[in-house]
Amino acid sequence: MDNDLDTDVIKVTLDGTELYEYKFGDTRPVEGGFDIRKQAQQFQISEMQWATYKFQAKEGFKGMETVEIVLTGSPGDGNFTDYQKWIFEIQVK
């Protein structure tokens, strides 16, 4: 099912524990929202807050992290569908 999703790849370069925020927008489906499907491994913060993704690397970490976020929703009938996927490729220097 994931192969049919519109997918955006977002490349990010951060210095150390610099905080990164990505705002998706102000709209959400009636039911559902943004879901982290693949979580980072080396983080202090890697979370969704409403329609904003926040990431901060673990102290001392240098390298690459990959995070996948999917927008899932339903028109109110409980039948959830994946609408779009974002892949964050985060390089921490």
Q: Which domain holds residue 68?
A: 2-92
Instruction: Please tell me the total count of domains within the chain.
Output: 1
Where is pLDDT greater, at 78 or 61?
61
* pLDDT, tens only, 20-66: 999 998 766 567 889 999 999 999 999 998 889 999 999 999 999 99
Higher local confidence (pLDDT), 69 or 77 = 69
The whole-model pTM stands at: 0.87
What integer pLDDT is reported at residue 35 of this predicted model?
Answer: 92
Q: What is the mean pLDDT of residues 1-18?
A: 87
Q: Tell me, what CATH number does 44's domain have? A: 2.60.40.3010
CA distance 63 to 71: 27
